[in-house]
């Protein structure tokens, strides 16, 4: 397929070399001032596509979204680093012709710009990264708790009611009949009687009885803690660009 006549149909195509290896995106198209034919394109090469290399369009063709050029990728990447202004100077263009081993053509190459006055080209870009804190939690063993029992002796005092018997003397006057009956046998003699006295005494006994159940358990409480750490981030700086041309 022949090359498109319009710059906007070439800019943004992916350039491949004659063996099919991908070279990069087409950034600018340069036309011959006399023939008004596209003569050169710049292709973004190098790390992150930050470098632009001039590639001749002689014997190039388009296949869908691909621009197939007639030179190897390694040759294109090592092309002379000439300026990327609106015009290629005659000496710059001659240097490129000599590098690619092409016959020179009359007319200085000029890049084709869009109606806004800015070059229709794909902007160079890079990815900026930064670190962020991802804070989580993990469960760690911080200690152990044990239940242990041992025997201690303490003194207890308990008040216990006890009963006892005491001797009490009761005197009851005899009635007439009792006196008469006793008088018939009355005589003086010794006599003796016994009374057995009783009393209660405290008796101490011991028994082991269960009184309560003791067990260990855990509960979860939540508290807030502040985590601090240093993070890195990338900053983008542009070198070698006139401040008036920055947007």
Would you give per-residue pLDDT tens digits along the chain (247 residues)? 578 878 888 999 999 998 999 999 998 898 888 888 888 899 988 665 567 889 999 889 999 899 999 999 999 988 887 766 667 788 888 888 999 998 876 665 665 543 333 333 454 567 888 888 888 888 888 888 888 898 999 888 989 898 998 888 888 887 878 777 776 666 667 778 888 989 989 888 888 889 888 888 888 888 888 888 888 888 888 776 565 555 4
Spatial neighbors of 52 by CB under 8 A, at least 6 apart, are 27, 28, 42, 43, 44, 45, 84
**Are the CB atoms for 10 and 67 separated by under 8 Å?**
yes
**Are the CB atoms for 94 and 106 separated by under 8 Å?**
no
- H or E segment to which residue 28 belongs: strand 22-32
Closest among 80, 108, 85, 78 to 96, alpha carbons compared: 80
**Strand, coil or helix: what is 178?**
helix
Q: Is the pTM of this model over 0.85?
A: no
For every residue of 92-124, DSSP letters joined together read HHHHHHHHHT----SS-EEE-B-TTSSB--PPP
Sketch out the chain's domains with CATH numbers: 7-114 (3.90.50.10)
């Amino acid at each position: 397929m022949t090359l498109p006549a319009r710059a906007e149909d070439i800019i943004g195509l992916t350039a491949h070399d004659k063996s099919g290896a991908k070279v990069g995106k087409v950034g600018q198209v340069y036309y011959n001032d006399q023939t008004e034919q596209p003569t050169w394109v710049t292709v973004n090469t190098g790390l992150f596509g930050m470098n632009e290399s001039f590639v001749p369009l002689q014997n190039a063709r388009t296949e869908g979204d691909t621009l197939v050029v007639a030179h190897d990728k390694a040759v294109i990447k090592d092309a002379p680093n000439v300026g990327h202004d609106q015009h290629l100077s005659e000496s710059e263009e001659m240097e490129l012709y000599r590098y690619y081993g092409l016959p020179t053509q009359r007319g200085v190459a000029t890049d084709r710009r869009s109606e806004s006055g800015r070059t229709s080209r794909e902007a160079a870009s890079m990815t900026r990264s930064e670190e962020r804190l991802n804070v989580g939690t993990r469960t760690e063993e911080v200690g152990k708790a044990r239940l242990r029992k041992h025997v201690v002796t303490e003194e207890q005092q308990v008040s216990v009611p006890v009963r006892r018997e005491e001797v009490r003397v009761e005197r009851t006057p005899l009635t007439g009949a009792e006196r008469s009956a006793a008088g018939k046998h009355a005589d003086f003699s010794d006599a003796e009687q016994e009374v057995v006295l009783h009393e209660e005494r405290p008796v101490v006994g011991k028994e082991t009885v269960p009184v309560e159940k003791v067990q260990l358990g855990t509960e979860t409480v939540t508290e807030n803690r502040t985590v601090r750490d240093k993070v890195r981030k990338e900053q983008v700086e542009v070198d070698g660009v006139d401040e008036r041309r920055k947007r």
